[in-house]
Chains A and B, each alone.
Chain A
Amino acid sequence: MSTAVAENTEIGVVPSFTVTLFVRRFNKEDGLEARWEDFDVTVHGTDRVLDALHKIKWEVDGSLSFRRSCAHGVCGSDAMRINGRNRLACKTLIKDLDITQPIYVEPIKGLEVEKDLIVNMEPFYQAFRDVKPFLIASDKPEKERLQSPEDRERFDMGTKCILCAACTSSCPVFWTDGQYFGPAAIVNAHRFIFDSRDEGSEVRLDILNDKEGVWRCRTTFNCTEACPRGIEVTRLIAEVKQAILRGKP
């Protein structure tokens, strides 16, 4: 009997291991340059990078700052650069990284760092607002606006965006001077440009025909690789380019 119990606990046990996290620390108020700080954390095989950061914040150093809300890959708060790649900390399992090496965690690039892993998202949101990410329709919404499944499919991919900024902050053009709209804003413009119920496509195409619009995209595919939602961002940008050339969606 006792053997059976031991076996049961054996089955339920989640392996745990120790990993080293190098976290990029920065605090405007202490007047010091940004620096790497390392933490040894014991984590379970089921833990994500976010759990390791929680463990540091709750048990080791309460001053560590990062954003997270839902912690399940939906809200898009915790995009960060993990081992040089933009990912969501809440969707990155530690066991999937090379745990024989330290794990490097730093804020996303191209946006001003406010504290540790928190960046100022305002320029990112401004670009999003600039493309008018809302339905523009002239008729009064007295009944629902019907749409065929094919028309819905046309812009389906863009609806998956959670505005985490992983794509925009992985774009080398966005890193340079921050004037470029960035992939996320273009994806959200695409979502309405190709919506059959929307009447503002021309306005958005004109906005994105800007000097800082779609033409700055060099198709490096960093955005497609960075997207935690699997959106083929570069393809959507190319579709917007084609639409501008045609003059209509």
Chain B
Amino acid sequence: MVTIETPRSPRNRKSANREKWAWLFMRASGVVLIVLIFGHLFINLFTGDGIKAIDFAFVAGKWANPFWQVWDTLMLWLALIHGTNGMRTLVNDYAEREGWRKSLNFSLWTICILLIVLGTLVTTTFDPCPDTSVVSALPQFCSK
């Protein structure tokens, strides 16, 4: 059996497609993510006490501010969709069997949506001092 590297098959034309929009999204989200991620790193690691300041209270303090809620939610959405779309192009490149390709892409987007839902739930409904009977589970700054 002679195996030749990458045998060719004729190109099948696919008409309407979203590749143009996917490409535009990658460009735009990439630029926005640079600002969001480096802004995030700068605020968390350089300003104030730097990395030593990061603890539960620090995060709770940030998410008490709508500005940081929007910032973090936007960063979460854009990074996940940007990354998943990048993985999708890799899957489309290298998964040659149609069934394999579809199931990989399906898993990718399922995980992406799941993470977006869970993450958004956290950034929008976060409450550092929930009304609970287990007082010892609460952080110290919650006066009880």
| Proximity bits, A104-130, B CB within 8 Å = 1, else 0 | 000001111100000010110011001
Please name the residue on chain B nearest to A124 by beta carbon. B8
CB–CB B6/A245 < 8 A: no
**Nearest-CB residue, chain B, relative to A33:** B2
**How many Å lie between the Cα of A26 and that of B2 in the bound state?**
10
Count the B residues whose beta carbon is within 8 Å of the partner chain — how many? 23
- Cβ contact within 8 Å between A31 and B5: no
Whether A245 contacts B10 by the Cβ 8 Å rule is no
Q: Measured between C-beta atoms, what is the minimum distance from A44 to chain B in Å?
A: 34
> How distant is the Cα of A173 from the Cα of B89 in the complex, in angstroms?
10
In B1-20, the 8 Å CB interface with A consists of: 2-14, 17, 19-20
* In the assembled complex, B45 has its CB within 8 A of some CB on chain A: no
The main secondary structure of chain B at its interface with chain A is loop
Q: Is A209 in contact with chain B by the CB < 8 A criterion?
A: yes
Are the C-beta atoms of A123 and B10 separated by less than 8 Å? Answer: yes
* CB-based contact A210/B17 at 8 Å: yes
How many angstroms between the C-alpha atoms of A33 and B17 in the bound complex? 40
CB pair A215–B94 under 8 Å, yes or no, is no
Contact present for B8 and A111 (CB under 8 Å): yes
Whether B96 is near chain A, meaning CB under 8 Å from some CB there, is yes
A241 at the interface (CB under 8 A from B): yes
Counting CB contacts under 8 A, is B23 at the interface? yes
Q: Quick one: which of B83-141 are within 8 Å of A by CB?
A: 89, 93-94, 96
**Contacts A176-B93, A245-B24 hold; do A215 and B5 have CB atoms under 8 A apart?**
no
Q: Is the CB of B6 within 8 A of A126?
A: no
Type the 1/0 row for A162-179, where 1 means its CB is closer than 8 Å to any CB of B: 000000000001011111
Nearest A residue to B26 by beta-carbon distance?
Answer: A215
Cβ-defined partner of A241 (8 Å) among B2, B6, B12, B23: B23
- Closest B residue by C-beta to A114: B4
Chain A interface (Cβ < 8 Å from any Cβ of B): 26, 28, 31-34, 109-113, 120, 122-123, 126-127, 130, 173, 175-179, 181, 209-213, 215-216, 218, 241, 244-245
**Other contacts beyond A26-B4, A244-B20: 4, CB < 8 A:** A178-B8, A209-B20, A211-B17, A215-B23
Interface CB pairs A-B, < 8 A, 21: A109-B5, A110-B8, A113-B4, A122-B8, A123-B8, A123-B11, A130-B11, A173-B93, A177-B9, A178-B11, A179-B9, A179-B12, A209-B20, A210-B13, A211-B14, A212-B11, A215-B20, A215-B23, A216-B89, A218-B89, A244-B20
